Amino acid sequence: MSTSNETVNESANLKALSGLSLAELEKFIEEMGLPKYRAAQIHTWIYAKLVTSFDEMTNLGAALRDRLKQEAKIGLLDIAHLQVSRDETRKYLFKLPDGKIVESVLMSFNDRTTLTACVSSQVGCAVGCTFCATGYLGFKRNLTAQEIVDQIMAIERESGKRISNIVYMGQGEPLLNTEEVIKSIHTMIESVGIGARHITVSTSGIIPGIERLREEDLPICLALSLHAPDSKTREEIVPITKTYPLGALMESLKNYTDSTGRRVTIEYVLLAGVTDKPEQAKALAEMVRDIHCMINLIPFNPTANDLGEMLYERPTREAQLRFKQLAERTGKTVTIRLERGTDIDAACGQLHNRFLQTK
Ligand code: SAH
Ligand code: SF4
C-alpha cells in the first residue's frame, strides 16, 4: 500500500511537460541549468513524435534522461476511463491533477481525413443552460491552458492518431475562461500544429469574451449558441441572456464579423415545442440576415437533469427539415448537425451524464 501511495505522490510532484508552450519548456529547462536547445528537442519529442517516456528521447543522453525522470513527467492528465461508441467516437474521462474529472471526445467523420477533438475548457459550467448536462453540474473551476492542450496530446498519445480539428465544445464556457483559452489556442497552433482555421470556439454569448477574441485577432472560427430568436425564450433556456441581452449580443457579433471579415456559425438547438416553431425559424432568418454567418441546427440530444427528469424532446425529422427550410429564407446556409456518440453520451450536451449517474 505505502509503495503505491508513494508512487502517486511522487508523480504528483513531478512537473508535467506536455501541454506547455515552447517558451514555457525553455523556462523549465533553464531553471534546471540546462542549455536552451534542450527545450526544442524535448518539444519535438512531445509534440511531433508523441513519446510517452523520457527513455524514448534518444538524443538527450542517459544522464540527462535520468535527471528529467526525477523532476518531470510527460503527460499532465490521466485517462480515468475510455469509452468507444458504435460509430467509433471515443469519449475520454480525464483525471486532472486535483482529482477532478473532465471529458473530451474524439470524432471521425465519413471523409476519414478529418479527426475532430472536442475539448473542455472548465470543470462544469456556470451558465446553466436548461438542456445541457454540464449546466446541471454547476461550475467547479477553470482549466489551465496546459490542461486544455494536454487533452489533445493525451488523445493523440492514446490513439496514435493526429487530430486535424479542435472544437471548444466540451464542458464549460470557453469565454468565461478567456485568457487560458486564448493561451491554449496559441499552443494548439504553434506546438500541436493545428491550423487556426481548424479551431472553433463555441460560446453561449459572453460579450466581453467575444470582444477580447476580436482584439486577439486569431484566424479561428467563432460559433455562437443562439438557440432562440426572442429574448423571452432565450432568457428561459440560456439564463446568461439576462446578463448579456440578445440585442447587445447580436451587435457584438456583427462587430466581430465586420472587423475580422470572418464568417461565424450560429448554433441553434431544436427543442420540440420550445425553439422549433415556424415563426421562430422565420425570426431567426431575419435576425441573422445582415451577419456573415451560417446556421447549424442541433437536434436536442437527450439529457436528464439531477432529478432524472427529461425536460425536453427532440423534434421529429420532418419538423427539423421544415425548420431548416424556413431558416434558409434569407439566403444563409443551414445545416443539421450530424450526431456522434449518442450511445455513450458523447454527443453535444450529454457530457457528464453517466458520471453523474454513477457518482
Ligand atoms: N459552452 C459552450 C460550448 C459547449 S456546448 C456553448 O454553450 O456554446 C456545445 C454546443 O452544444 C452548444 O451550442 C450547446 O448549446 C449545445 N448543447 C448543449 N446541450 C445540448 C443538448 N442536450 N442537445 C443538443 N445540443 C446541446
Ligand atoms: Fe455551459 Fe454551454 Fe452547457 Fe450552456 S450549453 S451550460 S454554456 S456548457
Query: Domain segments of the chain: what residues?
Result: 4-73, 78-357
CA of 301 to the centre of ligand 1 (A): 9
Q: In whole angstroms, give the CA distance from residue 233 to residue 254.
A: 21
The residue whose grid cell reads 497552433 is 189
Q: 203 to each of 127, 319, 359, how far by Cα in Å?
A: 10, 26, 28
Task: Reply yes or no on domain 78-357 having CATH 3.20.20.70.
Answer: yes
Of the candidates 24, 26, 103, 147, the residue annotated as catalytic is: 103
Pocket of ligand 1 (CB under 6 A): 129, 131-132, 169, 173, 202-204, 225, 267, 269, 298, 300-301, 303, 348-349
Nearest CA to ligand 1 atom 9: 169
248-263 as b/e, with b when 16 or more CB fall inside 10 Å?
ebbebbbebbeebebe
- Structure confidence at residue 26 (pLDDT): 98
Rounded to the nearest whole angstrom, what is the distance from the C-alpha of residue 216 to the centroid of ligand 1? Answer: 24
What confidence tier does 352 reach under pLDDT thresholds 50, 70, 90? low
Q: Does 284 score more than 80 pLDDT?
A: yes
Q: Quick check: is 348 catalytic?
A: yes
Pocket test for ligand 2, best of 103, 118, 121, 125 (most atoms within 8 A of CB): 125
Read off the pLDDT of residues 292-341 as tens digits, 9 standing for 90 and up.
Answer: 999 999 999 988 887 888 899 999 999 999 999 999 999 999 999 987 77
Task: Give the end-to-end CA distance of the chain in Å, rounded to a whole number.
Answer: 25
Burial class (CB in 10 A: 0-12, 13-18, 19+), 346: buried
CA distance 208 to 122: 18
The highest-level CATH class for domain 4-73 is: mainly alpha
CA distance 207 to 210: 5
Q: What is the pLDDT of residue 10?
A: 63
Nearest CA to ligand 2 atom 4: 129
Q: Which helix (H) or strand (E) holds 131?
A: none
Whole-number Å distance, alpha carbon 343 to ligand 2 midpoint, is: 21
- 98: CA distance to ligand 1 center in Å? 26
Residues with CB under 6 A from ligand 2: 125, 127-129, 132, 134-135, 172-173, 204
What atom of ligand 2 comes closest to residue 125's alpha carbon? 1
Bridge partner list, 285: none
pLDDT one-digit tens code per residue, 187-244? 999 999 999 999 999 999 999 999 999 999 999 999 999 999 999 999 999 999 999 9
On the CB side of 44, CA atoms within 13 Å amount to 9
- Residue ranges of alpha helices (H) inside the chain are 2-13, 22-31, 37-47, 62-71, 133-137, 145-159, 178-187, 207-216, 231-237, 246-260, 278-287, 317-327, 353-358
Enter the C-alpha cell of residue 211: 470582444
202 and 96 in contact (C-beta within 8 Å)? Answer: no
Atom of ligand 1 lying closest to residue 203 CA: 8
pLDDT digits (tens, 9 = 90+) for 54-74: 999 999 999 999 999 999 999
Cell numbers representing residue 55 in the block = 527513455
Q: What is the mean pLDDT of residues 97-114?
A: 87
Catalytic residue among 125, 132, 293, 348: 348
- Cβ neighbors of 145 (< 8 A, separation 6 or more) are 19, 180, 181, 183, 184, 187
pLDDT in tens, 119-178: 999 999 999 999 998 888 899 999 999 999 999 999 999 999 999 999 999 999 999 999
Q: What pLDDT sits at residue 320?
A: 97
Tell me the torsion sign for CA atoms 54, 57, 58, 63.
Answer: negative
CA 50 / ligand 2 centre spacing (Å): 32
pLDDT tens figures, 251-270: 999 999 999 999 999 999 99
- What integer pLDDT is reported at residue 207 of this predicted model? 98
